[in-house]
C-alpha cells in the first residue's frame, strides 16, 4: 500500500522557507529538522526566490514604480536643461575668447 500524501499549509511553507533564506541554513539541514523531504523544501525555496525577484521589464508597473518613473523622468528633464544651458555658456565663452584673441594681435 502506498503512503498518503502529506499536505502543508502556506504558513508552514513560508516559515520553512524563512528558516532557509533568512536563517542562512542549508535546505538539507532544515528539511531534516522539520521532517520534510529536501526536494520538497528545495522547491518551496526556489518558488519563494522566484516570486521575490523583480518582475520582467514587460510587466506592468505598480503604483510606487510608476511614481518613481515620473519622478526620475522629471529629474532627467531638469538635468538635460542644465546641460543645455551649460553647453550654451561654453559656446559663448569660446566666442568671447576667440574675439579677445583676435583683438590682441
Structural domain boundaries in the chain: 8-53, 61-105
Q: Which CATH architecture has domain 8-53?
A: Orthogonal Bundle (1.10)
Q: What integer pLDDT is reported at residue 55 of this predicted model?
A: 65
- Residue 12 to residue 40: CA distance in whole angstroms: 13
- Region 71-84: what's the mean pLDDT? 96
| pLDDT score recorded for residue 71 | 95
Rounded to the nearest 5 percent, the helix, strand and coil shares of the chain are 75, 0, 25
Entry pTM: 0.50
DSSP tag of 22 = T
pLDDT of res. 6: 85
Average pLDDT over residues 2-18: 87
Amino acid at each position: 500500500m502506498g503512503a498518503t500524501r502529506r499536505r502543508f499549509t502556506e504558513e508552514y511553507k513560508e516559515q520553512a522557507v524563512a528558516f532557509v533564506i533568512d536563517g542562512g541554513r542549508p535546505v538539507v539541514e532544515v528539511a531534516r529538522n522539520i521532517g520534510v523531504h529536501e526536494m520538497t523544501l528545495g522547491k518551496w525555496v526556489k518558488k519563494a526566490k522566484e516570486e521575490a525577484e523583480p518582475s520582467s521589464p514587460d510587466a506592468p508597473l505598480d503604483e510606487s514604480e510608476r511614481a518613481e518613473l515620473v519622478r526620475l523622468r522629471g529629474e532627467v528633464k531638469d538635468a538635460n536643461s542644465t546641460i543645455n544651458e551649460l553647453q550654451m555658456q561654453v559656446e559663448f565663452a569660446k566666442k568671447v575668447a576667440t574675439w579677445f584673441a583676435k583683438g590682441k594681435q
